A and B are shown apart, each in its own frame.
Chain A
């Protein structure tokens, strides 16, 4: 299974794009990259996932480097409600999802 590295915390001004990085240099070819967020102690909330191609949905964009060793989650216009812990995670080993340590994103006025 891939191991992940995420910054412990990041700040972002409201209305600006938040770019959250994740390094996963040991990822294998069949492991999907997932991003979740967690607000307080609520259950993790799905944001987006991908395998090789960049992905976009109504919440965010996911940019995966060509070598797949890193990815970036982009929240295009961050709001105060986006303050949360953001986790990148990986599938593999038959379907299990393994989480990184997470980045605490703080969106400020």
Chain B
């Protein structure tokens, strides 16, 4: 199993541009999570999906952020327009359920200049 796969690993973009982060969860996992990590705020849950349906997006900071999960093997996190304060490492994780562990991807380091 290749684990949770995120792309790109690094993204540098100019303020105002659209950014799309991608995630492929582990096959068979029915829950997918997007986290953001910064020095100031630590690991924050942005949104999570169960069976491709968004369940809790209360962590999404602003309307500039949106996430989709069109099928069980793919999810995107989009920021439009991006701002310098969005610079962070974004992690995707997937799980069978709360008693089965959560597997994280390697993350996407986003820098908005």
- Residues of A in contact with B (beta carbons under 8 Å apart): 32, 34, 36, 41-46, 49, 51, 87, 91-99, 101-102
Q: How many A-B residue pairs have CB under 8 A?
A: 59
Flag the segment in B12-20, B40-48, B63-71, B75-83 that touches A: B40-48
Given the known inter-chain contacts A41-B89, A43-B91, please indicate yes or no for A102 contacting B42, CB distance below 8 A: yes
As a 0/1 sequence over residues 33 to 52 of chain B, the CB contacts with chain A under 8 angstroms (1 = contact) are 10001000011010010100
Q: Is the interface of B mostly helix, strand, loop or mixed?
A: strand
- List the B residue with the shortest CB-CB distance to A32: B98
Q: Is the interface of A mostly helix, strand, loop or mixed?
A: loop
Does B113 interact with chain A (Cβ within 8 Å)? no
Q: Is there an interface contact between A97 and B45, defined as CB atoms closer than 8 Å? A: yes
Distance of A95 Cα from B32 Cα, bound (Å)? 10
- List the A residue with the shortest CB-CB distance to B41: A101
